[in-house]
């Protein structure tokens, strides 16, 4: 498996930019975890959070929605040190 990080270019964001605080973990477009927990040790073990595990058609629908939201996005690339 691999991990992809994406960035939403400022020029493509609406003004005022909406805030999205939900977290999404999507695996092969067949399994999705959507929730409020920060993906940190403390966020996953100590905080009171809520999440839902989706499989099959619902996960695929969520993946398609995410694709539409991230249309103007591109891979996050490391910048050289200043």
Mean pLDDT of 39-47: 83
Number of CB atoms found within 10 A of residue 63's CB: 19
Torsion-angle region of residue 67: left (phi > 0), alpha (psi -120 to 50) or beta? alpha
Question: For position 56, what pLDDT does the model report?
Answer: 96
Question: For position 38, what pLDDT does the model report?
Answer: 84
pLDDT in tens, 8-40: 777 777 777 667 678 888 888 999 999 888 888
Which one is predicted more confidently, 46 or 13? 46
Torsion-angle region of residue 61: left (phi > 0), alpha (psi -120 to 50) or beta? alpha
pLDDT in tens, 50-71: 889 999 999 999 999 888 877 8
The answer to whether residues 59 and 31 touch, using CB atoms and an 8 Å cutoff, is yes
């Amino acid at each position: 498996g691999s991990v992809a990080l994406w960035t939403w270019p400022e020029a493509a964001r609406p003004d005022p930019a909406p805030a999205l605080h939900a977290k999404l973990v999507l695996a092969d477009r067949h399994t999705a975890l959507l929730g409020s927990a920060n993906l940190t040790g403390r966020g996953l073990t100590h905080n009171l959070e809520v999440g839902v595990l989706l499989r099959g058609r619902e996960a695929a629908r969520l993946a398609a929605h995410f694709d539409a939201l991230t249309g103007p996005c591109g891979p996050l690339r490391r910048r050289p040190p200043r």
